[in-house]
Structure 1
Amino acid sequence: MVSLACHLEDGDTFVQKALQWAAQFDHVCYLDSNGYRDNYGNINVFVAVGAAASFLSDGQDTFTKLQRFLDAHPNTWVPGFLGYDLKNELEDLRSQHPNPAEFPDAYFFVPQYTLLIGQYNVEIKGADPQTIVQQIETTEITDEPLGFDGRLKYRMNRSTYFSAFANLQRHIRKGDIYEVNLCQEFFAEKATLNPLGAYRRLNEVSPTPFSCFFKFGEKYILSASPERFLSKNGTTLLSQPIKGTAPRGKNAAEDEQIKATLATNPKEISENIMIVDLVRNDLTRSAQPGTVKASELLQIHSFKQVHQLISTITCQIGEGISTTETIQNTFPPGSMTGAPKISAMRLIDQYENSRRGVYSGALGYFSPQGNYDFSVVIRTMLYNAENGYLSFHTGGAITDNADPEKEYNECLLKGKALFEVLKSQ
């Protein structure tokens, strides 16, 4: 493995050429922070292509086996994803719905080539990095047509959603749970799609800090996630759950008013604090005693499509806890389940009418330094080019005082960018 650092005259053009070049490989992970900067992530654009080795979940002891895979491939990048239905390995749970997208519960690969692209430089690792630079620089950026041919359908119609909503509120009033995330699927069967064209359009419509084009074989994940699930930096774990969503305003004055309303909305604040408590509890399982802290509560973050309420919780990792155990102890992301977590997940499977699969899971990478950074798989399109199944989910939190009409409309708002992409033929 050889490393090469180069100065770039035009970083933006190089990034687009690198994405075009990468898409030809059977294994691709392209991550773009879209210029969003915080104190916790330091990647601008990351590209990993080719698979020198790969890990595929077989449905048993996934986290233990993934740790063995990481131990066998140290000091390298390992991108991949963890699907929501891994919950069934961790708790006495099951998923009753079929898996038409046919994605596995987890998949990771050791890249043949990795690129870290900054604004003015790129670092490339691989067998012949100079040749990779030349290949990318001579790549022509093509205007990829979306090529979507299919009929988008609702898995859960309005009346079914309202019925599930009412049933879950009854469980809340009985004391079975106090918050739950109800999600619905939008899908197309035997559809055709140009995944690269769709991803580029999605990233244009909704640029987010955890934008991702992920490909393995004929399966694609096209993500515009704004939410960090969990990161590890040295001995520090950090989670940033999102609860609280509002649309962008038509002008600056309206936008500021919407932000002010969101910041003081009792329901949104209550939802966020409930999940903060859940995440704190999850992190305690991996933490040195007394180190779990909610360092930033109810911060408003603005994205092109929506405003979000985001909180930040950290801890220091306790001794003897492996890398994958720290993820296992907090999985699936609490913002996508509800609380108490196990009861909420059991009811989710009872009242939702589709399998979440990759959605509500985690997508990201392990780094050569033994760190990791994973987003929550939301605002994300899944496409299986082999059987033509295309899918995305949206959801929202139900509490005792939640309004079904408002929550249903919030689901549509969260899917706005994905609807726009598929309609932009």
Structure 2
Amino acid sequence: MSLQDLYSFKQKALTWASSFEVCCVLDSNDYTDPYSAFDLILAVGVKEELNARSEDKFTELKAFYEQHKSWMFGLLSYDLKNEVEQLSSCNADQLGFPDLFFFVPRYLLRVKDGKAEVLVGEPAILDTIDRISPLIAPYNKDISIQSRISKELYLKTVETLQQHIARGDIYEINFCQEFYALHAAVDPVAIYCKLSEVSPTPFSGFFKIKDQYILSASPERFLCKRARQLISQPIKGTAKRSPDKEEDARIKNKLRKNIKEQAENVMIVDLVRNDLTKSAIKGSVKVDELFGIYGFPQVYQMISTISSKLDPAVHFVDAIKQAFPMGSMTGAPKVKAMELIETYESSKRGAYSGAMGYINPQGDFDFNVIIRSILYHADTRYLSFQVGGAITFASNAADEYEECLLKASAIIQTLKT
């Protein structure tokens, strides 16, 4: 089915998908790269489901894939770190997302090159979607956003973390803070559509697990597999864009040459190289691009690409486990950084800074990093989003706070408009 109006189709399809208890919609927003497999994909309804509850959830995922070997979509929450390493999570959790949740969909639709097709389910689904009204119900615009910690505490914590760096405990740490709203009566579909308008990104996604929603405008890929190749693309380095073309070009060039941002980026590149080495054919890990500068509506980002060849003796689920959680959201050394994150952050991360994505029948996969995302529990009406940045010894605490607000700007604009 050729699509004359992709925007209208997206709204209709999302409205249809969200009427089911479980759905996952992944949208590239017209960004393309050598590893893209589609422009838009919708996994809707549950044929089979895994809500892993054992102490070895990655092994459960491996068994779930081996049993079904079909398309499956899912969530890897940040706190799976406690299985990868000897860590714990004791901070407050107001959202309660599963640690690891995957499902085999009843219906699967894909859009590529302007054409929609049904991969799983009856082709007549497209006619059903076409008859849906694209109008989005209004949502509550009076959302009172609060910060979990004050600016003063944020600044003080950054300075404390820099003392850890000075002592040699860590080199870099990703420190995050939560913004939240109580009694937030919102329409998740309308919010997601608005967020996608304000901040279209290549790894956007809408994930519904009954009353829980992830509304993501993520610009970052965690890990992708194509045949035997693994690809990770960490982001470290941010600059606010300008509406003035000449000034915007200067900002881009300044970020490209920024020594501090390069230092942050290369630390994480080295960490990711080490993570990929654990599952790679010896000597196959390489940096395909270092310090690439990419533009998004609000910001420029410094993105590097690291790849490797998966060792045939290693199951791809183990490769995911050995790279998780992503270095861009932890720090270096990774384990010590995660210990300090638990000590100094005020909220459990849960789904935030985890990953969502898909695995296909051939064992290829693609997962984003859940950042620039709204997390919402419809039953309790608790709405949350977290933002953070890399703290190094050279960081300026006030600048880091402003960078957090910049990263949150698209979400704040979405909720306040």
How far apart are the structure 1 equivalents of 2:61 and 2:141?
35
2:379 is aligned to: 386
Q: CA deviation at 1:62?
A: 0.7
For structure 2, the 5+ residue unaligned runs are: none
Identify the match of residue 299 of structure 1 among 281, 292, 295.
292
Structure 2 letter corresponding to 1:66: L
Q: CA deviation at 1:236?
A: 0.3
The 3-state SS of whatever aligns with 2:271 is helix
How far apart are the structure 1 equivalents of 2:153 and 2:121?
54
The 3-state SS of whatever aligns with 2:243 is coil
Identify the match of residue 67 of structure 2 among 64, 72, 82.
72
The answer as to 2:128 corresponding to 1:135 is yes
1:208 is aligned to: 201
CA RMSD of aligned residues (A): 1.1
Check whether the contact 1:11–1:119 (CA below 8 A) recurs between aligned residues: no
2:248 is aligned to: 255
Structure 2 letter corresponding to 1:95: S
Q: CA deviation at 1:125?
A: 2.8
Q: Report Cα offsets for 1:134-184 as digits up to 9, x if no partner.
A: 201111111331225542110011111111111110000000000001000
Structure 2 letter corresponding to 1:81: L
1:90 is aligned to: 84
Check whether the contact 1:148–1:192 (CA below 8 A) recurs between aligned residues: no
Check whether the contact 1:12–1:119 (CA below 8 A) recurs between aligned residues: no
Identify the match of residue 217 of structure 2 among 208, 212, 224.
224
How far apart are the structure 2 equivalents of 1:104 and 1:47?
21
How far apart are the structure 2 equivalents of 1:125 and 1:289?
37
How far apart are the structure 2 equivalents of 1:196 and 1:8?
21
Check whether the contact 1:219–1:383 (CA below 8 A) recurs between aligned residues: yes
What percent identity do the matched residue pairs reach?
Answer: 48
The answer as to 2:56 corresponding to 1:61 is yes
Structure 1 segments, 4+ long, off by >4 Å, are none
How far apart are the structure 1 equivalents of 2:298 and 2:279?
35
How far apart are the structure 2 equivalents of 1:269 and 1:308?
11
How far apart are the structure 2 equivalents of 1:91 and 1:162?
29
2:35 is aligned to: 40
Check whether the contact 1:227–1:375 (CA below 8 A) recurs between aligned residues: yes
* 1:23-422 correspondence to structure 2 within 5 Å: 23-74=18-69, 76-130=70-124, 132-422=125-415
How far apart are the structure 1 equivalents of 2:394 and 2:185?
41
TM-score (norm 2): 0.98
Q: CA deviation at 1:323?
A: 1.6
Check whether the contact 1:379–1:392 (CA below 8 A) recurs between aligned residues: yes
TM-score (norm 1): 0.96
Structure 2 letter corresponding to 1:267: K
The 3-state SS of whatever aligns with 1:406 is helix
Check whether the contact 2:142–2:416 (CA below 8 A) recurs between aligned residues: no
Count the aligned residue pairs. 417
